[in-house]
Amino acid sequence: MNTKRMKTLIISFVSIASLFFCSCYKTQANNRNLPNIIFILSDDLNWGDTGAYGQQKIKTPNIDRIANEGIKFTNAYAGSSVCAPSRSSLMEGKHQGHARVRGNMYKGYRESLQNEDFTVAMLLQQAGYKTGLFGKWGLALHNQPGIPNNMGFDEFFGYLNQRQAHTYYPEFLYHNRERVYYPENNFHYKKENYSRASLYDENGKCLPNGIVNNPYKVTNSFDEYCKRSLDFVRENHETPFFLYLAYTIPHGPLIVPYLGEYKDKDWPIQHKEWAAMITRMDKEVGKLFKLLEELELDDNTIIFFASDNGNTYGQEKRYLDENESPTRKDLFNLDAPTRGEKGGTYDGSFRIPAMVRWPGNIKPGRVSDHIWAFWDFMPTVAEITGVKLPVYTDGISILPTLKGEGEQVKHDYLYWEYNQNQAVRKSKWYAHKKNGKKVELYDLIADPQQMNDLSNSFPCIVKEMKGVMKKSHKPSDVWPSPGETEAEFTKRLQERNIRKRPENVALF
């Protein structure tokens, strides 16, 4: 090869390499300008459990900081009124008439996300994000396709099955697809141990049931996955990341390593545990804030905080034999704006505390009555990152509301279904239909407790709501449709050659 041709080839190679390097550098630089996204999902948190929503007895300064330095919502809604379906709506960007998972189980069977499903974590992977889930997944068991690493998460640490998450001192947790065992937790994971109230010593430290060795040398799952989540931030702080913190707190059974400042309160023990669990969660939010500041990421990180369903006023069965006074609701003043609790289908079953902080983009101290729901998270993230949504969602981006800029497109209605009941919120109206029954209609502004059924007075609105319920529901091959009998459901599955699902509720 002559010298001139060799020189030409070298120049061409260098030029191509330079273009490739510049392109990669530009992509990385652009990625670094994208905000980190954190979604903190508390499990069973009541409307009034934090200072931002009026709590005075339970200390939550770090969670309150999200609202005080960002925006607090008064009309935010979960995906469902129980755990798994609510998370399915959050991940898929779909309401419960379309989402894959529509209940915690049906006749002992837990449904999983499927290979064809698309999640917000997948979307963010496409945008160049590192994605991590720490806490409770609830959307697949170990032998089902919808485990987190198949659904867009680069790293997962925590629980798959929400029943396993009923113990805070587990036999094992998952790190991606592998189990990490904690032999020091002995037999606390057995139901006969975790379902009974544990004792506390004179210093307020917990003595968990089923521990045959040293009760002070046990591993608390919440502490463990929170520590791992901070490691994820450290390891990925040079690239944009999505951190999904699916906290198990304060979901029962109530237990906490240390009662802390609530040890000497003149309260029933379960109220001390409840308060201590929430404050423990708050302290972990504080550790996250501190790390973001140390890594100089705070100004370029958007944090969402919400509860996964409506209020949980009821006491745990293990405490019902105590003639306690006051109740948790009364002691902590947990009244929500509207009627409805976890597992129900009235407005308060879905309405949740929610707040978002994003320095420089969200003006601090704002309060918004904009109506939105979990299925809006995916399109909001898509707009933030500039990624085009590759799938259909039921959501609308709330970025204009967050930033206080531009025109916010509003939902014509929000739709839920659970346990074959249906519900619709449309402006001030709330329609509720029990399985196969008549439509009830309430004016949420005039009647937030939904006690005065106006269906006979507004037949045209009832007709409209029936239409919304009909068009919003897509039949599932796991759960019966609203109004469908068990026999009709069985026949429908047989006609589609769908076999009866095996009981798997106790698997991992």
pLDDT tens digits, 363-381: 999 999 999 999 999 999 9
Position with higher pLDDT, 334 vs 317: 334
For 214, residues 6+ apart whose C-beta sits below 8 A from its C-beta are 184
pLDDT at 323: 60
Q: How far apart are CA 306 and CA 147, in angstroms?
A: 23
Q: Would you say residue 21 has pLDDT above 70?
A: no
Q: Would you say residue 7 has pLDDT above 60?
A: no
Position with higher pLDDT, 335 vs 134: 134
In this structure, the number of other CB atoms found within 10 A of the CB of residue 215 comes to 20
Q: How far apart are CA 234 and CA 468, in angstroms?
A: 46
Quick one: what percent of the chain has pLDDT higher than 90? 88
Kindly tell me the sign of the dihedral angle through the C-alpha atoms of 18, 21, 27, 33.
Answer: negative
- In order of their start, the domains of the chain are 34-403 (3.40.720.10), 414-495 (3.30.1120.10)
Each residue's pLDDT tens digit, 431-473: 999 998 999 999 999 999 999 999 999 999 999 999 999 999 9
Residue 11 contacts residue 299 (beta carbons within 8 Å)? no
Each residue's pLDDT tens digit, 211-238: 999 999 999 999 999 999 999 999 999 9
Report the Cα–Cα distance between both ends of the chain, in Å, rounded. 65
Q: How far apart are CA 342 and CA 81, in angstroms?
A: 5
483: confidence class by pLDDT, cuts 50, 70, 90: very high
15: confidence class by pLDDT, cuts 50, 70, 90: very low
Each residue's pLDDT tens digit, 156-178: 999 999 999 999 999 999 999 99
Residue 112 contacts residue 92 (beta carbons within 8 Å)? no
pLDDT at 31: 63
Strand partners, 357: 303
Q: How far apart are CA 159 and CA 441, in angstroms?
A: 39
For 134, residues 6+ apart whose C-beta sits below 8 A from its C-beta are 156, 157, 158, 225, 226, 228, 229, 232, 243, 244, 245, 246
Q: How far apart are CA 434 and CA 29, in angstroms?
A: 53
Q: How far apart are CA 180 and CA 157, in angstroms?
A: 9
In this structure, the number of other CB atoms found within 10 A of the CB of residue 30 comes to 12
In this structure, the number of other CB atoms found within 10 A of the CB of residue 260 comes to 16
User: Vertex 463, ends 462 and 467: CA angle to 5°?
Assistant: 115
User: Vertex 478, ends 474 and 483: CA angle to 5°?
Assistant: 60
Q: How far apart are CA 29 and CA 435, in angstroms?
A: 53
Kindly tell me the sign of the dihedral angle through the C-alpha atoms of 362, 367, 135, 143.
Answer: negative
Each residue's pLDDT tens digit, 86-106: 999 999 999 999 999 999 999
pLDDT at 20: 41
506: confidence class by pLDDT, cuts 50, 70, 90: confident
pLDDT at 13: 42
500: confidence class by pLDDT, cuts 50, 70, 90: confident
pLDDT at 120: 98
DSSP string, 264-312: T-SS-HHHHHHHHHHHHHHHHHHHHHHHHHHTT-GGGEEEEEEESSS--
Stretch 124-131: mean pLDDT: 98
Stretch 189-210: mean pLDDT: 96
Q: How far apart are CA 79 and CA 250, in angstroms?
A: 19
Q: What is the largest CA-CA distance in the chain?
A: 98
Each residue's pLDDT tens digit, 316-326: 667 766 666 78
pLDDT at 335: 86
Position with higher pLDDT, 341 vs 20: 341
pTM of the model: 0.93
Find, among 180, 102, 171, the residue nearest to 134 by Cα.
180
Strands 421-426 and 429-433: what pairing? antiparallel
287: confidence class by pLDDT, cuts 50, 70, 90: very high
Q: Would you say residue 83 has pLDDT above 70?
A: yes
Phi and psi angles of residue 18, each rounded to the nearest 5 degrees, phi first: -65, -45
Tokens of 44: 């069973």
Residue 394, classified by CB atoms within 10 Å of its CB into exposed (0-12), middle (13-18) or buried (19+), is buried
pLDDT at 40: 98
